[in-house]
Amino acid sequence: MQVYDIITKKKRNIPLTSGEIEWLVKSYTDGEISDAQMTAFLMAVYFNSMTDEETSAMTMAMAKSGDMLDLSEIAEITVDKHSSGGVGDKTTLVIVPIVASCGVAVPKMSGRGLGMTGGTIDKLESVPGFRTAVEYDEFKEIVKKTGCAVVGQTGHLTPADKKIYALRDVTATVDSIPLIAASIMSKKLAMGDKNIVLDVKCGSGAFMKTPDEAQKLADTMVRIAENNNRNCVALVTDMNKPLGRAVGNSLEVIEAIETLRDKEKGEFYDLCIELSANMLSLAGKGSVDACRQLAVEAVSSGRALGKLREMIEAQGGNPDVVDDYTLFKQAEYSYDILAENDGVIKNVDCEEIGRVSLLLGAGREVKDAPIDHSAGVYFYKLCGENVLKGERIATLYTDKKENIDNIITRFRQAYPILSDEN
Ligand code: URA
């Protein structure tokens, strides 16, 4: 086979065979195809998309490029949730303990943040001592003992996705529906997940900007799961504004704890209950309605918060953070943002809020760059709320002093207070 011919076919929108796609993925992973040629292929996919058969072949080729795990050796029934990535998305920290405290095992592997999106692994590493680099055998033992664990990818999983994702990241080919679907689902198939809830984010802070695109991505991923005998449901959820009150690692962990303490009600709490209910239902605990009730009770009874404590301790973290937030690293500086006029918070630029948080130190521009776990934004006033001149709308946390005026200006532009006339 010739990579040149495969690129040419894709460029001319002629469907590729499964054999051609498998060969391409394997050859690139093995270093036999250059980045330049793979980039040409990815860009052709970006413009011409892929058929369902091509997307499935790409997903399977990437899944099989490394180990294929079998989670049934951990528990008879397990369930996973995957979000397509957003700003302030800390749902995993809330739903994993809720679902585990309802008796369904959640062995979860998560990723790190890149660019404007945060990663669950970075958030959890803000808990002093918390270990996310855990070998597969220990991961299994922790889940067997506590019912859940959240770790970074263990072993040799989907090396093809790692290599292709890194290339997409620098060649502007991330936001392609078949490529995102194949990337996410290859990891789910390799991890052996049998029951999967997908949270497909839609809006200015997500890869999918419109409901149509997000629904298409959701449908593509569900079809891949079903064709591989997995149970899967996908929810399309809003990412036109940051999720909840906090953006930034320890700030988000604290918000998750407050939510599990039943103190934070609102859209973020509602989404956590909805995702948990769908996970529990997929795992056979009853209808989504009945499972919604189970999830609500897991929070109001304090069982889910207890489960989070247990999980933190099992992974080497200090469980006292749940009751004492001063145990988290504290930012050197905090800047209160006060309203400059009366009005309502509207037309928020979610992607820009993600960038502001990154500039404060909470995210990374390039892979493996260090991050400041205490940096980020906390919102006192949420999108859609009325505010009066002088009221505190948010606080920015950082260890940096340089460039802060520019960051504050960018924040104000991204989080505008519009008066009645606007
Ligand atoms: N998350 C992934 O794992 N892969 C993508 O391509 C996009 C989001």
Rounded CA gap, 96 and 285, in Å? 15
Axis crossing angle, helix 52-63 with helix 159-170, rounded to the nearest 10: 120
Q: What is the dihedral of CA 128, 132, 136, 142, to 10 degrees?
A: 40
Indicate which atom in ligand 1 lies nearest the CA of residue 165: 6
Which of helix, strand or coil describes residue 271?
A: helix
For atom 6 of ligand 1, which residue has the closest CA? Answer: 180
Q: What is the mean pLDDT of each run of 10 residues along the chain (422 residues)?
A: 96 98 98 97 98 96 95 92 91 98 95 77 96 93 97 87 90 93 95 95 92 97 95 96 96 98 94 98 98 98 98 98 98 98 96 95 83 96 97 97 96 93 60
Ligand 1 interacting residues, C-beta cut-off 6 A: 84-85, 165, 174, 179-180, 183-184
Indicate which atom in ligand 1 lies nearest the CA of residue 111: 3
DSSP designation for 15: P
Rounded CA gap, 134 and 356, in Å? 32
pLDDT for residue 422 = 59
Indicate which atom in ligand 1 lies nearest the CA of residue 184: 3
For atom 3 of ligand 1, which residue has the closest CA? Answer: 184
Q: Measured in angstroms, how far is the CA atom of residue 117 from the centroid of ligand 1?
A: 11
Best residue among 174, 175, 198 to mutate for probing ligand 1, ranked by most atoms within 8 Å of CB: 174
Which amino acid is located at 227 in the chain?
N
Axis crossing angle, helix 267-282 with helix 249-260, rounded to the nearest 10: 70
Whole-prediction pTM: 0.93
Axis crossing angle, helix 52-63 with helix 211-227, rounded to the nearest 10: 60
pLDDT for residue 420 = 67
Give the active site residues. Answer: 82, 161, 168, 183, 187
* Cα–Cα distance list, 174 to 179, 181, 183 (Å): 7, 11, 10
pLDDT for residue 264 = 87
DSSP-assigned beta bridge partners for residue 208: 202
Asked if residues 179 and 216 have their Cβ atoms less than 8 Å apart, the reply is: no
For atom 7 of ligand 1, which residue has the closest CA? Answer: 180
pLDDT for residue 421 = 61
For the four alpha carbons of 301, 307, 308 and 309, in that order, the dihedral sign comes to positive
Burial of 2 (C-beta count, 10 Å sphere; 0-12/13-18/19+): exposed
